[in-house]
Chains A and B, each alone.
Chain A
């Protein structure tokens, strides 16, 4: 099993450009998540999907959109990138298993907006 995969690993954008971060999991999990990680801020939830076809805003959704394409894939789109969106983005997935949801993380996408 590959677990959770993310593409691309690195990306540099100019202000105003758009891009989509891709995430896929092969663990048949229902729940998927997008986080951003900034120095001294920990991980903050951007968007969340409890199942195929549903999405909900997290703590910091402004400037982002998401699509839960199917059970495996959950993409994050920046329509008009801003320097404040420079961050490391992590995708995660989870499933109810023996009394707990345990999240599994991808390797991250390091995004720089100039």
Chain B
């Protein structure tokens, strides 16, 4: 069975500050991991994905995430927050060759001016 846990349903950071959104996974098989972003009143958009090619994954809009097997974590970071980053972020997991993915409950990111 697979699952992801996102720590913090709401995170607030100041514009220009570091963004850190936490995700821990549980998987009985080597996982694929994803971060999706949802802007208000829109569908989900893929930010980045981990497929075992490299533990540090770079995505769109300056975001990156690091896969740490020893910590079963896949935290999302961005060095400097921008007002346009305000959105809800979802971590997700799937098994290799599995066409279904399991989503976390989401973290809403608020950017303070």
Contact = CB atoms under 8 A, between A and B. Distances in A.
Contact of B106 (A42, A48, A106): A42
Is the contact region of chain B dominated by helix, strand, or loop, or is it mixed? loop
A31 interface: yes
B26 interface: no
A107 B41 CA distance: 8
Main secondary structure of the interface of A (DSSP, over half): strand
Interface of A: 4, 31, 33, 40-45, 48, 50, 58, 90, 92, 94, 96, 99-108
Interface of B: 9, 32, 34, 36, 41-46, 49, 51, 90, 94, 97-101, 103-106
Given A42-B104, A107-B43, 16 more contacts: A4-B43, A40-B9, A40-B105, A42-B106, A48-B100, A50-B99, A90-B43, A100-B32, A100-B49, A100-B51, A101-B99, A103-B44, A105-B36, A105-B43, A107-B42, A108-B42
